[in-house]
Amino acid sequence: MNDAASAHRRIQQLREQIEHHNRRYYEHDDPEIADADFDALMRELAALEADYPEYATTDSPTQRVGGRTARGFQSVTHLQPMLSLDNAFDEAEVAGFDRRIRARLEYDGAVTYCAEPKLDGVAVSLLYEQGELVRGATRGDGREGENITGNLRTVNDVVSRLSTKEPPARIEVRGEVYLPKQAFAELNRRLEQGGGKAFVNPRNAAAGSLRQLDAAVTAERPLQMFVYGLGETGDTVIPESHYETLQMLAGWGFRISPLARTVTGVDGCLAFHDEVLRQRDQLPYEVDGVVYKVDRADWRRELGFVARAPRWAIAHKFPAEEAVTRVLDVTFQVGRTGALTPVARLAPVFVGGVTVSNATLHNMDEVRRKDVRIGDTVFVRRAGDVIPEVVRVVAEKRPDDASLVELPSACPDCGAEVVRPEGEAVARCSGGLGCPAQRKQTLKHFASRRAMDIDGLGDKLVEQLVDRDLLHDPADIFGLAKADLVELERMGEQSAANLLEAIERSRETTLARFLYALGIREVGEATAEALAAHFGDLDALVMADEEDLLRVPDVGPVVADYISGFFRQQENREVIRRLREAGVRWRAERPRDSGLQQAFDGQAVVLTGSLAAMTRDQARDAVRRLGGRVTGSVSGKTAFVVAGDDPGSKIERARELEVPVLDEAAFLQRLREAGLAI
């Protein structure tokens, strides 16, 4: 069969597949494949249609946007079509976009673009007449959408009346409705508790919320919206800059992305892309890329449109965070507390910028809730440095021979009995430090950067030392000799000497680091710091009873029981004794100063950026002395954020939650007012 016939057959197959996946995505909010896989199908179809234009048709998915309108909603026609955007997936494609812009404009200079994050939400169009909202609709197929006016009126960010004394006679405002990450997690938790079906991701949750036939259900879900542009403008005078148009919309009462700004040329675009990509995991909402739009309105008019997208804009996509693959097996890993974690062994798949072949299933309750079986096709998600996880099963693709995952009765590493305490989701190996896996994890944690910070004592080296019976507990680390080390793989004389120097340096530490390094169950960095600040020294903590422990901020009955139980065990006290004999030492912490005004009593404070007057540790100590605690992330419970130079995305999160932000001068003033000498 000739190439043209083969291409025609493949084009027909692709169109059928894309139509099927469009229906699953737009009409049912239940996608079967990852966005990256859908993009690949569209790119293949577009390439074939370009090579064989005789098979290109006006009803091809490459010429249309989205899907049909859903049943139950009246269809409405947009005054101007809601077009999609072409995509770029690498720097070369962005450079090609810029090159085409300049060629069409016959312009040799650097083009100014307005750059914005690309939210992974639901595109909507809001029609205003004489400043009043008269209709709200989904994108639909780009020309016709669903009339969801009543539901959109329940979204706080949807302006009912424009904040201007001279409203336009008629104007369409375009925006993206989304569900914040935290609200998405809470919604799924409620749905699962009520026996309902959880949403796959925040985008599907937002779409499902907007398509509720009962607007009261939509109102219960904390949807938000950013606006990004205009459709029909009629006779309204619009700024000749897209960025200035966004400022006009903000003046009318809409929320615009605080990250939006103008950039110059390809280099400016790529720098913006990298900046937002670095912030991606800290943003309170999902973004799957950034958008570049020619800023000048006259140039946009000159550039015009193709069938489904404007020529003057492009979406630069981030590496996919979700992909679809197959579960080949499920094994169990043993952690430092004996917890058995089921791990899905996957057919390798590229996701989040790396090839993933393993993903966590957390615990057996999660395995049962998601109904993951060996042989299943699953969605896998990897965000930033977070361990990849199985998000959900594609039930329609389950093979007949898919097998259930069973919890082992014996530890896969040491053979000890596996126990699951009543009321706990986690099953544990009962072998303690007699289990090589637990021993390795305990030692890795002890040597880690945020614990004792023994540079060079990494995971592979710890495993070798345990396997050769050279390390049994943390105290053995300080008895290692060069002769023990030089025999190990990839460990020469100099590497051994460097490691011994790092071990020597680690003897001088802080009580908080030491407590964290011990690996007491549920005692993380913040709790370790609170314990050190409250008791001042280890001996007082070891002798503390439950009543004493419960006076420490963030220590409840369960954690108090873990702490007292740890220090009651003779083997743990023996390891601590040997560590102190080996020279591990710390200066006594200054207990909370009862003479100071407790200005921050019980408050959670977040530090971001660099301070000029003090180090981060000094600032943390000052907060502790005034009764507060320093946390790593901004939440609704945060009292205030201290912003130094070059603050990160925590500032944006604080503004989203309306948490007060103090600059360094205001923070220092508060410390002085509370009685601290700065």
Count of Cβ atoms closer than 10 Å to residue 500 Cβ: 16
Q: What separation in angstroms does the CA of 491 have from each of 304, 460, 477, 487?
A: 63, 11, 16, 7
Q: Helices marked H in 1-141 — which ranges?
A: 3-22, 35-51, 91-105
Q: Which helix (H) or strand (E) holds 113?
A: strand 112-119
Q: Which of 118, 317, 444, 650 is catalytic?
A: 118
By DSSP bridging, strand 287-294 and strand 75-77 are unpaired
Q: What separation in angstroms does the CA of 183 have from each of 77, 92, 158, 203, 205?
A: 32, 37, 18, 12, 10
352/400 Cα distance (integer angstroms) = 31
- Residue 35 in contact with residue 55, Cβ under 8 Å? no
258/236 Cα distance (integer angstroms) = 25
- Residue 321 in contact with residue 351, Cβ under 8 Å? yes
Packing angle, helices 459-467 and 436-447, rounded to 10: 140
Q: Which residues pair with 374 in a beta bridge?
A: 403
Question: Tokens representing 458?
Answer: 């990494």
The widest CA-to-CA distance across the chain, in whole angstroms, is 90
Radius of gyration of the chain (CA): 29
Phi, psi for residue 555 in degrees, rounded to 5? -100, 115
CB within 8 Å of 667: residues ≥ 6 apart: 611, 619, 642
- Residue 514 in contact with residue 453, Cβ under 8 Å? no
- Residue 241 in contact with residue 296, Cβ under 8 Å? yes
Q: Helices marked H in 351-396 — which ranges?
A: 364-370
Q: What type of residue is 342?
A: P
Count of Cβ atoms closer than 10 Å to residue 422 Cβ: 4
- Residue 245 in contact with residue 614, Cβ under 8 Å? no
- Is 118 an annotated catalytic residue? yes
Q: Helices marked H in 214-337 — which ranges?
A: 215-219, 242-251, 265-279, 297-303
* DSSP one-letter string for 314-339: EEEEPPPSEEEEEEEEEEEEE-TT-B
By DSSP bridging, strand 629-631 and strand 604-608 are parallel
Q: Where are the beta strands (DSSP E) in 361-499?
A: 377-381, 389-393, 418-419, 428-429
Compute the C-alpha angle 401/407/410, nearest 5°: 125
Phi, psi for residue 333 in degrees, rounded to 5? -100, 145
Question: Tokens representing 456?
Answer: 């060079």
Q: Which residues are catalytic?
A: 118
